[in-house]
Amino acid sequence: MKKTVNSVLRHVVLLILAVIWLIPIVWLVATSFSGYRGINIAHFFPQSWSFSNYSALFLEPDSVVQYVAWFKNTLIIAIFTCIISTLFTLMVAYTMSCMRFKGRKFIMSFSIILNMFPGVLSMIAVYFILKSLGLTNSHLGMIIVYSAGSGLGFLIAKGFMDTIPVSLREAARLEGASEAKIFWKVVLPLSKPIIVYTIISSFLIPWGDFVLAKLMLNSGISSDWTVAIGLYNMLDKSLINKYFSIFCAGGVIVSIPISILFVIMQKFYVEGVTGGSVKG
Amino acid sequence: MKKISKLFSSIGNYFKNFGVSLAKGDIWVKSSLVVMGAGYFARKQIINGIIMLLVEAAFIFMCIFYAAPNLAKFGTLGTVQFEQTFDPLTMTSTVNDYDNSFLILLNSIVALFIMLVFLFVYIQNIKSVYKLQQKKEEGIHINNFREDVRAMFNDRFHITLMTLPAIGVVLMNILPILVLIAVAFTNYDQAHMPPNSLFTWVGIRNFKNLFTNSVTVTFGYAFGKILVWTLIWAVLATFTTFLGGILLAKIINNKRTKLPKMWRTLFIIAIAVPQFVTLLLVRNFFADSGIVNTICSNVGITDFLKNIGLVSPNLTYIPFLTNPNWAKVMIVLINIWVGVPYQMLIATGVLMNIPEDQIECAKIDGANNFQIFWKITMPYIMFIQGPALITDFVKNINNFNVIYLLTQDVFVTSDQLLANSNAKEVDLLVTWLFRLTNEYYNYKMASVIGICVFIICAAFTLITFTRMIKGDREEVFQ
């Protein structure tokens, strides 16, 4: 009897929590189908329903809404960021985990200290450096911003590679494989979960980032922006009453691919990270 | 202490080896001091020699045309003010050959950095040339160029792998940090903005300003207030989400909970939506004339809160994000909403691996669920997650998104002293410095605050620092 009560109670608590966690998401989706463009402050669900916000997003670009252009910009930046970051991260992780050379510990300590410096602060100097190179307001500049420092984020991948048995590498070396071959043919194929995790997490950076894009893409030309900046701009005080529902529609569209990738990433994260850390 | 003395002795050895190489080297090693490729030519490593010669030539070229002009002005950061003269005859304006303080600062730091790197290459060059000499004397095979290249993919593969990431880190992390440390000692602000005006060195005046509190300078007051709130926030944010995540994971993972996967997915959906979307949405949700306020006043909560004194009587709404105290509570609550699902995922992974036998033993000994949780589960989680907790704490000190997206353009401070320093009650140190730079162009003070944030974070990280990179752990599993 007591167990049944407990079990019912537990499910009720879970249900209440789930509702709390999903209210904003439900509001987002509901408002995106609203027939009214501004914020509906009287009712949770819209009074009239329509698809007009979505058609405005894709078919009627104006000086404020350039959704297709934003999506394209973000996608291009994300693809290149993803390639470069993944390569850098894996290269550094392999070096730190599998190779032994003078200064390795020093480089590791140094990079941990370097990572502590507030990113927001150094970004302002990065902005000036890129500006003097003429790279602000360009895709190339954004790709550099997102991916150049990615070598510092090697710790998770290194932690995973540490769990690959050293005997495998030694066996390969005895058979005459070079270090480069061991990297490609032995360690990388065994690091699949962490590679997928690195790929997805670096792909997601440009979609979720707001601060850097706001600093770097300051030309005021809306077709240069990324999705995050574009959507943020729609909520400007002078625009919010005309664009709030369109913002919600844009939020829904960008969230669909992102959440799918995020869920996949979580699966690999749990496999890769907890798999590695728990053994310790 | 031991580490520091080890560091110094290794630096000492580095230069000692250089001296030994030079003293014992033959004429070719010694002439490498002047002509960098000489030692290689003598051992028939022609391509290596040419590369070294080119490096040397490029360095000299850089010194003359880049380093010298900039470093000459480094002491003053420029003296020639920007001037524009309009010529009425030709209807064109001409600009004088002015100094741009920021570019001088930036270029000088880059030049100094290149010089340091070159010094390293230079010393390394002498050493490796001496090694070649030794090899020749002992009759050991000297690699030809092709073999050298092959070594880059074998014994020296770490150099090949690390070069590009290292360049990236230098460009994106090290140079900016050096520039900003330098800016903290200048008067670079809105009144001294290149190219129109110059800025110059002011010593530690900015650091003094951060701790003074006078009629004109209120940075001391603002800094104290914001520092306290930043630390309170970091503690609250870390512990609420951490405990919340464990409890949620415990509930979902309970054996008698139906459909655990479905529950987990529901919570993940909430955080899978990009933060800027959800946070901006939530901010409008709780706006002064937002939907939550409408509902609250319809149901009578607003009046109730007025009666018990939580909302001041002359307001018709609940100031969720506009009153300092309300906003602080709301920010922590909304952060629980953002952070708990993440912690739940991590805790799930950890909980799944708790050794079952210990719990079984405890049950046989008559421990109840509560005791098991506090005596077995929690210590185990703390053992695994302890270092991550400190990392989370440091991340929360720098948690820009939650604070900025929730309060920017919404929260207006009524504290005149804070407003004088462009700060708000709900600001963290990082959002404050972002506003100082992005809106008020007060780069000097922002740099000083940045250095303070760094020191604070470093102090906290040092606690776990030795544990994280001790290195004894990393080889255990291999």
Helix, strand and coil percent figures for chain A, each rounded to 5: 75, 0, 20
Q: Which domains does chain B have, with CATH numbers?
A: 2-203 (no CATH), 213-286+321-469 (1.10.3720.10)
ipTM of the complex: 0.84
A88/B165 touch (CB, cutoff 8 Å), yes or no? yes
Helix count and strand count (H, E) for chain B: 23, 2
A51: closest CA of chain B, how far (Å): 20
Distance (Å, rounded) from C-alpha B82 to C-alpha B99? Answer: 7
With beta carbons less than 8 A apart as the criterion, state whether A126 and A145 touch. Answer: yes
Distance (Å, rounded) from C-alpha A100 to C-alpha A97? Answer: 8
Long-range contacts at B201-208 (CB < 8 A, ≥ 24 apart): B201/B75, B201/B77, B202/B444, B206/B444, B206/B445, B206/B447, B206/B448, B207/B448
B316: closest CA of chain A, how far (Å): 15
Distance (Å, rounded) from C-alpha B475 to C-alpha A93? Answer: 15
A112/B461 touch (CB, cutoff 8 Å), yes or no? yes
A164: closest CA of chain B, how far (Å): 6
Q: Which of B170, B172, B251, B456 to mutate to test the interface with A (most CBs of A within 10 A)?
A: B172
The 10s digit of each residue's pLDDT in A184-219 is 888 888 888 888 888 988 998 888 888 888 888 887
Which residue in chain B has the smallest CA separation from A122? Answer: B176
What pLDDT does B334 receive? 93
Reply yes or no on whether the pLDDT at A275 is more than 60.
no
Distance (Å, rounded) from C-alpha A69 to C-alpha A73? Answer: 6
With beta carbons less than 8 A apart as the criterion, state whether A150 and A89 touch. Answer: yes
Cα distances from B366 to residues B204, B357, B362, B373, B405, in angstroms, run 64, 14, 6, 13, 50
3-state secondary structure of B354: coil
The 10s digit of each residue's pLDDT in B70-92 is 888 888 888 888 888 877 777 77
CA torsion angle for B414, B420, B422, B428 (degrees, to 10)? Answer: -70
What pLDDT does B477 receive? 43
Q: Which of B11, B105, B253, B273 to mutate to test the interface with A (most CBs of A within 10 A)?
A: B273
Distance (Å, rounded) from C-alpha B261 to C-alpha B272? Answer: 16
What pLDDT does A280 receive? 34
Higher per-residue confidence, B114 vs A222: B114
B153/A273 touch (CB, cutoff 8 Å), yes or no? no
The 10s digit of each residue's pLDDT in A13-42 is 999 999 999 998 999 999 899 888 887 777
What pLDDT does B58 receive? 92
Longest dimension (CA), chain B: 101
Please give the DSSP secondary-structure letter assigned to residue B79. -
Superfamily of domain A63-279: MetI-like (1.10.3720.10)
With beta carbons less than 8 A apart as the criterion, state whether B321 and B405 touch. Answer: no
A13/B161 touch (CB, cutoff 8 Å), yes or no? no
* C-beta atoms surrounding B464 within 10 Å: 18
A152/B349 touch (CB, cutoff 8 Å), yes or no? no
List, as one string, the DSSP characters of A151-171: GGGGHHHHHHHTTS-HHHHHH
| Residues in Cβ contact with B118 at an 8 Å cutoff, skipping those fewer than 6 apart | B55, B59
B177/A10 touch (CB, cutoff 8 Å), yes or no? no
Our measurement of the distance from residue B325's CA atom to the centroid of its chain's CA atoms, rounded to an integer in Å, reads 29
With beta carbons less than 8 A apart as the criterion, state whether B120 and B236 touch. Answer: no
Low-confidence spans in chain B with pLDDT less than 70: 1-3, 463-478
The 10s digit of each residue's pLDDT in A74-130 is 999 999 999 999 999 999 999 998 888 888 888 888 887 787 776 777 777 888 888
A105/B471 touch (CB, cutoff 8 Å), yes or no? yes
B224: closest CA of chain A, how far (Å): 19
> pTM for the whole thing?
0.83
Name every chain A residue with its beta carbon within 8 A of the beta carbon of B461: 112-113, 116
* C-beta atoms surrounding A105 within 10 Å: 13
Reply yes or no on whether the pLDDT at A176 is more than 50.
yes
With beta carbons less than 8 A apart as the criterion, state whether A265 and A247 touch. Answer: no
List, as one string, the DSSP characters of A222-280: GGG--HHHHHHHHTSTTTHHHHHHHHHHHHHHHHHHHHHHHHHHHHHHIIIIIHHHHH-
Distance (Å, rounded) from C-alpha B448 to C-alpha B59? Answer: 34
With beta carbons less than 8 A apart as the criterion, state whether B32 and B125 touch. Answer: yes
Cα distances from B396 to residues B402, B428, B430, in angstroms, run 10, 10, 10
Q: Where do the structural domains in chain A lie, given as residue ranges?
A: 63-279
